[in-house]
Structure 1
Amino acid sequence: MKGLGLVFKDRRRRQRGSVLSGLLIIIAFLAIVVGSIMSELTSSFLVSRTLVTRVQREATVTSAIEVGIHQLQSSAAPAVCARDGRGPWFASVNGLQAVVTQSCTQIVPDLSQALATGSFSVDGVHDTTVGRDRYLVGDASGRLYSYAFGQVAPIWSITAGGALTAPPTVVRDSSFADLLVPISQSGGECSGHCVAVFDDRGGAPAFRCNAATPAVVRAQPGAETAAGTGHFPNYGFVADSGGGLSVFNVDEDSHCVLQVVASLDGTPAGQPLVFPGTVTSRQHDIITSDEVFIVVTGTRGTMLEHWRYSEVIATDKNGNSTITLGEVGSLAVAAGPNAVGYAASSNVPSIGARLMLAVASASGGVALATITVGSGPTYSMSPVASAVLPGGIARAPYWCHCPGQDLVGVGSTNGVLYILDTNLGLRWLYDGQANGRPAIVSTPQADANGDWYFGADDGYVYDVEVPAAGQQMFNAARFGPGGAIRSSPIVGGAANGCSAGPCLYFASSGAGSYFVQLGSIRIMDLRACVSAGGGSTACVASPRLWARVEVGSPSIVGGSGVYVQAWSYYTP
């Protein structure tokens, strides 16, 4: 019995131990649960605090973006997108300081409009003779259009009689103007190629006569330009692709009389430059002359040739009246063979002037030559410099009297636009890589702000700007109808009738002619962040905010002058 009692006593002791163990387990479990709850509460508190901080920062940078948009709306956009230096601006919200900066990414045209359908492969011209300011361009069907510069409705359109083969020229007659249009025409008095002459005294030009040429005319006809009174104001000087140089009297009484024709030493590569020569009185006659300069080229090289056109008029019965056209001299131009055209610094032969010509060849060569005008007047030629660009060249360069300096722009078939100084050193370029480097088979042109425009074979005209730093130019805009741009951009400004900024005309080989008016519409990227304050632009916290906005005239941009295209908070 004593042993049994010991057994029962030990069992009760064991039961008390089991209860104690269970209690400890329960307490431990509760401790774990309570710990988890406390950890969750602590985490939730920290997360909530982080969210509050983030919301405060987002509100701050959002307010900064709004400040930036207001500043863009209330200040004038600089003409050059790449040099838009507005900002930075600052805002203080929720006890935080923020900064917002901007960058101009694109110019958007105020107006882009198709004009005429058809195929255009010949350059148009900006005609400012006789007080006019108009754009003339013709298509492959022989239709010639005239637009008051800056306008989209034609003043007139006429049938030239055949497909245009070169840009037209306006010859200022003694009392009015004559319009010379190189065309190809089968049959008739043209024998396949001629220059159609129109009476252009007002309204739609009226056909007068055809001046037949020995071969097709690929160069714009020349006419005398003078600092004062000219000698032969109603004459046309026509160089054809067969190497002929013809002089026609195109006034209303002469009806395209061929005065004389001579053979050049190569194929013409550009418009003849015609300047007044001397007037010499002799005993029985008077000799009046014009000096003609023309770039000619072939497979062996390129020359600048100087010719003299003279008329001897008898003053009495002992005198003889004769007409001559003879070569005076020539200058080798180191551009290489197969020149494609030239750009001139001026075509007004003022006494003491140095007229510079930039001549380009198909192989990429560019050379400078000068024509110096002396008293008398006398004329002399001299070489200046030469360079070779990496790509081929298909069209003439452009001479720009750009802000602060003269520059020469050359478009290449490798898709690169080269901007050269007057020693032919490379100043800037646009490599076209972002656009696939479409070939440039057009002459570039610049506006009064120094922005450059060129047409490419991808159907677009590009607006590229001189950068604030470096050589790579900034692509501010592109626009176009499609089809290779072979009728080069012609650019004007407010003085020419453009409304808000530069405007330009150009045409495509397959999609017609086109007009673009540029103004103040810009695509801007705004970036805002929390800053250290005190005018600092350094970011000290995230998130940051990026927004892309279109800003411009309310009549064009959404009625309010601003449209937010996209936005995003981000952490770099």
Structure 2
Amino acid sequence: MTAILALLKDRRRSQRGSVLSGVLIMTAFIAIISGALMTELSTNFLVSHTMLNRVANQATDNSAIELALSRLQATQLNAPCPSLPTATLNNLTASATYLSCWPTVDVRSPQFKQIESSSEPFNVDGVHVQLGQLNDYIVGDAAGNVFDFPFGSATERWSLDLDGAVTAPPLVLARPGHSGQYLDVIPLSSSPSCPMEGSCLNVTIDDTSFAPPSQLCVITTSSGAAPATQPAASPSLRGLVYFADGANLEAYDLAGTACASKSSAPISGSRPVVAGPIAFPCTSGCGQVVDYIYAVVSTASSSRLVEYTYDPKDGLESAGSWPLPWANASGIALQSATLPAGLAITFGGGGVALYRIGSNGPTFLNSQQVGGGIADAPYWCGSCSLFGVGAQDGALHLFNSSLNPVPSYAGTGSAIDTTPATDGAGNWYFGADDGYVHEVQNQGGQMVEVNRYGDLGAAGSSVEVGACTTGICIYLGTLGNRLYLVPLNARDAVISACITTSPPTCSGANPHLWANVEVGDRKIATRLAVDLSGASIRVVEGTMGGEMRCASSVVPDGASVGGKVADPAGVARALKPLLARAEITQTRALVAASDSVATFRILHLAPTSTPRDVDAAIARELSFDPQKMATRWTQLADPQVQERIVYAAAWDQGLVKNITEAVKLAGLEPMVVELKSASVARAVPAPACVVLDLSSDPAEIFLIDDHVPQIWHSFRVNGPMGDDAAAALAPALRTALRFYRRQSNGDFGRAAPVFVSSEQALPSQLLTELAGLIGQPVMLLPVPPRVPPNVRHSTYLACLGLLMRRS
């Protein structure tokens, strides 16, 4: 016990032991904390480094996608999807590749447009004419109508009503000795234009205007049979045309003022011509021979390929005849227009034969049998060295230039009774009995359908595909008596990007980025504005800040009087060719009407006014016959502020109906009809101003205050602008200004400008004198922002205001 007490009294010893323990404990604790902290810092460092790498990879992939989209957007649609660049960023390289890419109609636009209708089907093929000044689509129907459309346009340039029936595609050739004129050779049967309403070729003169072609002559078929195949122009003698007349081959000279028969040759065996003729120039060892002419003759039992020569002295002479593998031939297609050339021949039983035409005649190369029957001709794709055949089992069969099969499209089972076609990128299109235009593309060695457009009705006239201002345009006629345009204007693409050290192969475990995009050109969706407010028709298609197309023409006498459409059909006859001449593609129109068809008021009402109160105020201000007139109003200011400001208009329903009827007869759909004053108010740069429009007839005055039209007034300007022009214009302007100042208690500033719009140059002295006479600054109308220089803003001011609409 004594020892224990002594130990407890030794406090220094006891303290020394506790301090040591504490130090050891603290050291261990700090070590633990330090270890945990370092572990956390190391982990966070590793995570941050991984995230940084991931961000760098994704940024590089994203750059590759953006470069791909930019290249897509800069490449014309009627061409293959462009090769894609690599992107280098953050010392990394990313490669972009297509998973798919094809032309399409963007989601904002209608898939197709009906551009014409008939009483009978479109059952013969149309033609895409690219000759001299012409780039047109021409097609006929079973009612004897022939339509010409500038390629890409939904508005016809001209049409002919020949009655009877068009029996084969027309031929178009340059008219010898007449620059800028072309001859249309149209096969017909049972037409009043044919002698005794039999069969003939109607030859007309197209001067490239918008007037229907005039008749040059009529060629009567000697056999009485309807021409069933397209005529052919001689490649050697201008104006010479070959055509099949049943089992006869004919040559006619169209170079003069009449059509002269040059030669006729019966075909041995009396088999009718079912394909051809096609003509090649003789280039060596010819003697007097200028052309070689080939045709296919066929019956239900046999078919032959026949050759004829033509020389100006002896005419047509037989040069050979070769049996074909099958009967019932259905069409031919040439690989090129010069020798040597591949000649593909199809047969109704599903056979396909390939020949090579040379200077020594035809050589048989190969033949194949496909699964279904073949009703129409094959089609050669020049850019892809393939030809395609549509079969009645719904399949699209493709062959190379040796007739070896390449990947084909099995189809959906709906018969293809027409000829397919391709675009500039080698994508295939065809119309089928299911009513759709099908788009088929080679993807990874397999032909797959990437899109279809319809329902249009069973195809009767083969698709015609070509480049147009929209991108790619497809024309098609149906057995349901309708003619359609499918305007492709965008690409649908799926693009993948990845980090790589050896493009385009991806490397390592680096991330991929996928993008499914629809890429059009850099233009915003275009609009069409039509100004029918005066003695001239004006149209503008485009967008503010983008490209615009514009055109104008005079309204026919009596069709529009004082800005009011009196003869809708007469206005339509002037509007339709105007749309075609300007190559307008839009079919939905915003329309400006003259203020003479309506009257408007700006009403200032109590902020608590109800819609019924507004209607009552309109009835007081605008006395009208409800059986004849219609009204509409819109609010211009917040009723919770001080007052309810209402813009109210009343219009003559009959006059507005005439406007919409004229627009519809021209093939357009009127989406909006608004007064010209509203369009002008939207287009001028000042909130308060007066616009004096001398480009209209009669001249018009629009007084605008707070961006809202307040007054419209029209008056006649007698004679040209002379030395007394200011004195002639001032009274009408003073009247409008005085009237509005009385109405608004003088609330229209003396600094508000008067903008003068005129198609003729006005001297500055006139503006100065006019300003002195009316007490307001006077200046020429300034160009609205974002209007291209090719558009005369004074002439097309109302159209520009329509394009500025928000809806």
Which TM class, normalised by the smaller chain length? 0.5 to 0.7
2: CA distance, partners of 1:326 / 1:69: 63
- Give the counterpart of 2:458 among 474, 484, 487: 484
Match of 2:352 in 1: 366
**Aligned residue identity for 1:274:** A
Q: Secondary structure at the match of 1:76?
A: helix
Q: Deviation of residue 190 (structure 1)?
A: 5.1
Asked if 1:178 corresponds to 2:183, the answer is yes
Match of 2:317 in 1: 326
Q: Percent identity?
A: 30
Q: 1:88 to 1:417 in 2, by over 3 A?
A: farther
- Give the counterpart of 1:466 among 420, 442, 445: 442
Q: Deviation of residue 325 (structure 1)?
A: 3.1
Q: Secondary structure at the match of 1:473?
A: strand
Aligned length in residues: 453
Match of 1:254 in 2: 258
Q: Deviation of residue 308 (structure 1)?
A: 2.7
1: CA distance, partners of 2:311 / 2:79: 52
2: CA distance, partners of 1:459 / 1:554: 32
Match of 1:207 in 2: 215
TM-score by length of 1: 0.68
Deviation readout 1:161-195 (Å, 9 max, x if unpaired) = 43211000023342243211001125651542111
Q: Secondary structure at the match of 1:115?
A: strand
**Aligned residue identity for 1:298:** T
* Contact 1:68/1:526 (8 A) holds in 2: no
* Contact 1:81/1:104 (8 A) holds in 2: no
Deviation readout 1:287-333 (Å, 9 max, x if unpaired) = 66543211111233321111233443xxxxxxxxxx54332211223
2: CA distance, partners of 1:525 / 1:346: 36
Deviates further, 250-259 or 124-133: 250-259
**Aligned residue identity for 1:484:** A
Match of 1:224 in 2: 234
Q: Secondary structure at the match of 2:219?
A: strand
1: CA distance, partners of 2:406 / 2:298: 28
Match of 1:429 in 2: 408
Deviation readout 1:352-393 (Å, 9 max, x if unpaired) = x312211110111111112212xxxxx422211111112111
Q: 1:327 to 1:76 in 2, by over 3 A?
A: same
Match of 2:733 in 1: none
Deviates further, 293-302 or 78-87: 78-87
Match of 2:145 in 1: 143
Q: Deviation of residue 196 (structure 1)?
A: 0.8
- Give the counterpart of 2:469 among 499, 506, 510: 499
Asked if 1:337 corresponds to 2:327, the answer is yes
**Aligned residue identity for 1:169:** L
Q: Secondary structure at the match of 1:393?
A: coil
The structure with the greater share of residues assigned to strand is 1
Q: Secondary structure at the match of 2:116?
A: coil
1: CA distance, partners of 2:229 / 2:279: 14
Match of 1:115 in 2: 115
Q: Secondary structure at the match of 2:227?
A: coil
* Mapping 1:298-317, distance limit 5 Å: 298-312=299-313
The structure with the greater share of residues assigned to helix is 2
* Contact 2:81/2:425 (8 A) holds in 1: no
Q: 1:200 to 1:66 in 2, by over 3 A?
A: same
| Structure 2 unpaired stretches of 5+ | 1-50, 499-504, 527-542, 544-807
* Contact 1:106/1:524 (8 A) holds in 2: no
Deviation readout 1:523-565 (Å, 9 max, x if unpaired) = 659899xxxxxx9789999xx9999654545755899xxxxxx
**Aligned residue identity for 2:343:** L
**Aligned residue identity for 1:260:** S
1: CA distance, partners of 2:301 / 2:126: 31
- Give the counterpart of 1:354 among 340, 355, 367: 340
Match of 1:513 in 2: 483
**Aligned residue identity for 1:356:** G
Q: 1:514 to 1:68 in 2, by over 3 A?
A: farther
**Aligned residue identity for 2:416:** I
Deviates further, 254-263 or 338-347: 254-263
**Aligned residue identity for 1:216:** A
Match of 2:383 in 1: 402
Match of 1:234 in 2: 239
1: CA distance, partners of 2:525 / 2:89: 26
Match of 1:382 in 2: 363
Q: 1:300 to 1:511 in 2, by over 3 A?
A: closer
2: CA distance, partners of 1:218 / 1:243: 11
Match of 2:661 in 1: none
Q: 1:107 to 1:248 in 2, by over 3 A?
A: closer
Higher relative contact order (CA 8 A, sep 6+): 1
* Contact 1:237/1:246 (8 A) holds in 2: yes
Q: 1:67 to 1:393 in 2, by over 3 A?
A: same
**Aligned residue identity for 1:302:** S
2: CA distance, partners of 1:287 / 1:550: 58
2: CA distance, partners of 1:311 / 1:82: 45
Q: Deviation of residue 516 (structure 1)?
A: 2.6
Deviation readout 1:386-424 (Å, 9 max, x if unpaired) = 111121111100112224xx1111111111111101111
* Contact 2:350/2:371 (8 A) holds in 1: yes
**Aligned residue identity for 2:200:** C
2: CA distance, partners of 1:85 / 1:290: 43
**Aligned residue identity for 1:222:** A
Asked if 1:412 corresponds to 2:391, the answer is yes
Deviation readout 1:494-527 (Å, 9 max, x if unpaired) = xxxx125332222222152222332334265989
Q: Deviation of residue 155 (structure 1)?
A: 1.7
* Contact 2:78/2:471 (8 A) holds in 1: no
2: CA distance, partners of 1:488 / 1:367: 21
Q: Deviation of residue 223 (structure 1)?
A: 1.6
Asked if 1:267 corresponds to 2:272, the answer is yes
Match of 1:5 in 2: none
Q: Deviation of residue 346 (structure 1)?
A: 1.7
* Contact 1:262/1:326 (8 A) holds in 2: no
1: CA distance, partners of 2:423 / 2:333: 16
Match of 2:202 in 1: 196
Match of 1:475 in 2: 449
* Contact 1:90/1:100 (8 A) holds in 2: no
Deviates further, 68-77 or 407-416: 68-77
2: CA distance, partners of 1:127 / 1:482: 24
**Aligned residue identity for 2:214:** A
